[in-house]
């Protein structure tokens, strides 16, 4: 029986401020959760500098490798916001002063005390063949070019803009994830986990040790697109760890044992 396949995705976080540690990224984790909930498999995430050639090369590589790519950062009004031009160059598309993007920005700044100056006008520069992504918070749009979705770095704005496009993204089977809490170290059950995984095509098993005062154990996470196979693998992990002599219990996401 062939295993179901979900759309694949990559995230590119662009910004010297992230690499320097001055700003902490909050977008990868949030996007990962949203994509997972829609059945889109996040395969890779990269953090890169505000460097034109690096952006071009990374966009070319990841857009060819995955079904969807999401970028964050570098589409603001300042001189180091070069994502738009670099993404356009990756697709060999010219950048234009986009009439609809400009209209939205003009309307937005008319309702503020801020001048729609040359720097802010730059945010209306969009690749000629791109589709705009609406920005309900600050008007400056993102865009979609090919399979690349270009979003801002500010988390609240990125989130609002992503919510506007998520319904148009291809969906897949939401991955089943089952946790087996084991009262022993992962080194003791490594062979068990490898053996169980080998018996179930399309199921992956990860182990995550935890420590509390006077206690330690391993959270074993069994994941797969086939719900029945994933549940069977989790039950086998639980059974085999108990046969080994350690406590093991399948739990819900909140930590409640399943009966």
The pLDDT tens digits of the residues spanning 2-30 come to 556 899 999 999 999 999 999 999 999 99
Structural domains in the chain, sorted by start? 8-168 (3.40.980.10), 176-251 (3.30.70.260)
Residue 220: strand, helix, or coil: strand
pLDDT value at position 255? 47
3-state SS of 13-70?
Answer: EECHHHHCCCCCCCHHHHHHHHHHHCCCEEEEEEEECCCHHHHHHHHHHHHHHCCEEE
Strands (E), 63-160: 68-72, 95-97, 125-127, 131-133, 142-145, 148-151
d(C-alpha 223, C-alpha 206), whole Å: 8
Confidence at residue 3, expressed as pLDDT on a 0 to 100 scale: 58
2-6, 47-51, 232-236: segment of lowest average pLDDT: 2-6
35-39, 59-63, 70-74, 171-175, range with the lowest pLDDT: 171-175
Half-sphere exposure of 17 (CA within 13 A, CB side): 12
Residue-wise pLDDT tens digits, 148-198: 999 999 999 999 999 999 999 998 889 899 999 999 999 999 999 999 999
**What pLDDT sits at residue 257?**
52
In this structure, are residues 6 and 205 in contact, taking their beta carbons and an 8 Å threshold? no
């Amino acid at each position: 029986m062939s295993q179901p396949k979900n759309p694949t995705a990559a995230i590119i976080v662009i910004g010297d401020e992230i690499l320097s540690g001055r700003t902490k990224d909050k977008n990868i984790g949030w996007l990962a959760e949203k994509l997972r909930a829609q059945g889109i498999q996040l395969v890779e995430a990269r953090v890169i500098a505000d460097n034109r050639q690096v952006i071009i090369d990374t966009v070319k590589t990841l857009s060819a490798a995955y079904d969807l790519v999401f970028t964050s950062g570098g589409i603001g009004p300042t001189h180091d916001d070069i994502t738009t031009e670099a993404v356009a160059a990756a697709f060999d598309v010219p950048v234009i002063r986009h009439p609809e993007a400009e209209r939205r920005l003009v309307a937005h700044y008319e309702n503020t005390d801020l001048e729609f100056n040359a720097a802010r006008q730059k945010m209306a520069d969009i690749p000629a063949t791109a589709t705009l992504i609406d920005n309900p918070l600050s008007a400056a749009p993102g865009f979609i070019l090919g399979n690349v979705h270009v979003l801002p770095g500010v988390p609240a704005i990125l989130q609002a803009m992503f919510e506007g496009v998520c319904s148009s993204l291809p969906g897949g089977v939401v991955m089943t994830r089952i946790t087996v809490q084991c009262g022993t170290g992962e080194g003791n059950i490594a062979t068990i986990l490898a053996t169980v995984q080998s018996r179930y095509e399309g199921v992956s098993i990860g182990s995550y040790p935890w420590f509390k005062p006077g206690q330690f154990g391993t959270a074993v996470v069994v994941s797969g697109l086939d719900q029945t196979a994933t549940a069977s693998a989790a039950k086998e992990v639980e059974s085999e760890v108990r046969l080994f002599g350690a406590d093991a219990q399948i739990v819900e996401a909140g930590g409640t044992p399943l009966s």
